[in-house]
Amino acid sequence: MVDVSGGCSGERGGGRKRQRDVDGGECGVEWWLAVVVGFGGVGRGGEEKRGDGGNMSPPSSVTARGRLAVLAAHLAASPVEESPADIERWCLSAGLVPPPGNLKGTLTVVDERTGKKYQLQVSEDGTLKASDFKKINSGQKGDKGLKLYDPGYLNTAPVRSSISYIDGDAGILRYRGFPIEELAEQSTFLEVAYLVLYGNLPSQTQLADWEFAISQHSAVPQGILDIIQAMPHDAHPMGVLVSAMSALSIFHPDANPALRGQDLYNSKQVRDKQIARILGKVFAPIAEFLTGKLIRLNTLQAPTIAAAAYLRLAGRPPVLPSSSLSYSENFLYMLDSLGNRSYKPNPRLARVIDILFILHAEHEMNCSTSAARHLASSGVDVYTALAGAVGALYGPLHGGANEAVLKMLNEIGTVDNIPDFIEGVKNRKRKMSGFGHRVYKNYDPRAKVIKKLAEEVFSIVGRDPLIEVAVALEKAALSDEYFVKRKLYPNVDFYSGLIYRAMGFPTEFFPVLFAIPRMAGYLAHWRESLDDPDTKIMRPQQVYTGEWLRHYMPLKERMVSTEADRVGQVSISNASRRRLAGSGV
């Protein structure tokens, strides 16, 4: 499928048309005749092309009308001048040409401190081994070689992975090679979960077996339920999930390498059993906590839990899922049926839920996924590793970012207030949430899909007035040089919170709805790390900046020089002051 929205299709990433190279330059018209139109004709330099278009003929799904539309858009010139490097980047973003090939070679480093030269090996994928820098040292006593200082791992790749691919400059996200836009348009969440975990989309038989395997591990140990019942009634659902995930390791000692041996997970059968267990159990503890009743889950366990949580907040009893409905249809059925077993949810809203889950299923080495791999590298059981991942997702800079967007839009209030807000951001007096991303320096491809979903939801349940503010804010930011220069584009959180709110989810459940699909990504990375021969226990180094050498001083000789040195002081409450004012204390 030719990506008509990006690259060499006639539109660049920001939607601005570009000048065409009609004279046969990079991505010229003759080249496009071979690629887009897909039949014989004159190639570059007047050479005759094969009748089948060579190896560049497009899939049959591209209709003749679509080809002509793309070609017409391609020929529509604009005054924007572009360099060959820009054109090459757009070709890459459209997926029409592969990324750079073999980058293997050597890098020569000259240490001007010593005059020595070092040859560092560059791998085929353009990476250097950080450990190779250790051999570069000043020759001074105690110098153990160079370290790479990289706060936040901005340019550090601790793993090689085949699960997902991101090109932040071009705005590309792919799961196992499949563009996220195609999966969101054509696939389902259960298919995508299988794809992310096992590398390929399942056949009909594989999908049925997959669902059955999960359903066989949906019961929750009574001990887990007892632990949850002891929690405060108003505990945050993400806190419940972290606690329950960690506790599951106690009730499955057969899955603990610390008890069964470090080679336990060498068995793929053991691994797959844990995957089925987690996908079958992980949200049941939340359901028990929020409903006071264990819901026996089938293959549709995740929406069952989210629905039970919603009903608990609404003061309504839990509703069991229907075996005749799909994954996402069951979710809405349990929210809205009010016990009416003949109720059928809106299929368009059910599809919105499915797409949102697809978009959040995986995103390579994000904070929480990195936490999962970091913990798993120690050989810890998978339940503890995923509990740590969910804990990282709980953070407001990660899973809770869309809540910050809603708060920001509410503070702006109306479209008329946007100019003042923009100026406040530029003057560093206000903070803009939902814009910018650690990886994406272009429009987040997930945000494009979610923006369209928002309109779909509003056409059914009513238009949220904040969408007007969001759209106007996006337009204002993308036309302002301040944001364009800094490559600040809307990310996945900018519109997702509006959809969740429009569909009636309370804000504290936003990260839970994030965690449901992302569990597939966590498990895929856990599974991949077990097969990676380069996997080692993750143990980053540090750059020590403290005191070099001091000697112990007796307690009576130590003095606090200033009030600022009085660290660790705990303020006394008024109740304690009242008690201390009495006698006999």
Q: Which of 169, 336, 398, 480 is catalytic?
A: 398
- DSSP label of 268: H
Rounded distance between C-alpha atoms, residue 529 and residue 160, angstroms: 9
Per-residue three-class SS string for 131-173: HHHHHCCCCCCCCCCCCCCCHHHCCCCCCCCCCEEEECCCCEE
Helices and strands counted in the chain (H then E): 24, 5
In 143-153, which positions are buried (b, 16+ CB within 10 angstroms) versus exposed (e)? eeebeeeeeee
Cα Rg, the chain, nearest whole Å: 28
Q: Confirm whether 233 is a catalytic residue.
A: no
Two tokens at 518? Answer: 């992302």
Q: What is the DSSP letter of 541?
A: -
Dmax over Cα atoms in the chain, in whole Å? 105
The angle at the Cα of 570, spanning 569 to 575, to the nearest 5 degrees, equals 145
Q: Which residues of 407-441 are buried (b: 16+ CB within 10 A; e: fewer)?
A: ebbeebeebeebeebbeebeeeeeebbbbbbebbb
Distance CA 19, CA 90 (A): 12
β-sheet bridge partners, residue 105: 122
What distance in Å separates the CA atoms of residue 465 and residue 55, rounded to the nearest whole number? 50
Q: Is residue 398 annotated as part of the catalytic site, yes or no?
A: yes
Non-local (6+) Cβ contacts of 197 within 8 A are 275, 520, 523, 524, 527
Catalytic residue, chosen from 354, 381, 444, 493, is: 493
Under a CB-based contact definition with an 8 Å cutoff, are residues 241 and 512 in contact?
A: yes
**Amino acid identity of 541?**
Q
Nearest to 263 by CA among 379, 368, 363: 379
Question: From CA 469, how far away is CA 307, in angstroms rounded?
Answer: 29
Q: Hey, what are 274's tokens?
A: 């844990």
- Identify whether the C-beta of residue 435 lies closer than 8 Å to the C-beta of residue 488: yes
| 336: enclosing H helix or E strand | helix 327-336
24 to 21, 29, 44, 116: CA distances (angstroms): 6, 6, 6, 48
* Residue 493 annotated in active site: yes
Choice among 437, 444, 464, 525 that is catalytic: 437
Q: Tokens 């390579």 sit at which residue?
A: 364
| Identity of the amino acid at 419 | P
* Residue with the two structure tokens 């949906």: 218
The CA-to-CA distance between both ends of the chain, in Å, stands at 80
- In the chain, the amino acid numbered 378 is S
81: CB partners within 8 A, 6+ apart: 19
Distance of alpha carbon 238 from alpha carbon 515, whole angstroms: 9
Three-state SS across 61-75?
A: CCCHHHHHHHHHHHH
| 51: Cβ contacts below 8 Å, ≥ 6 apart | 39, 40
Instruction: List active site positions.
Output: 398, 437, 493
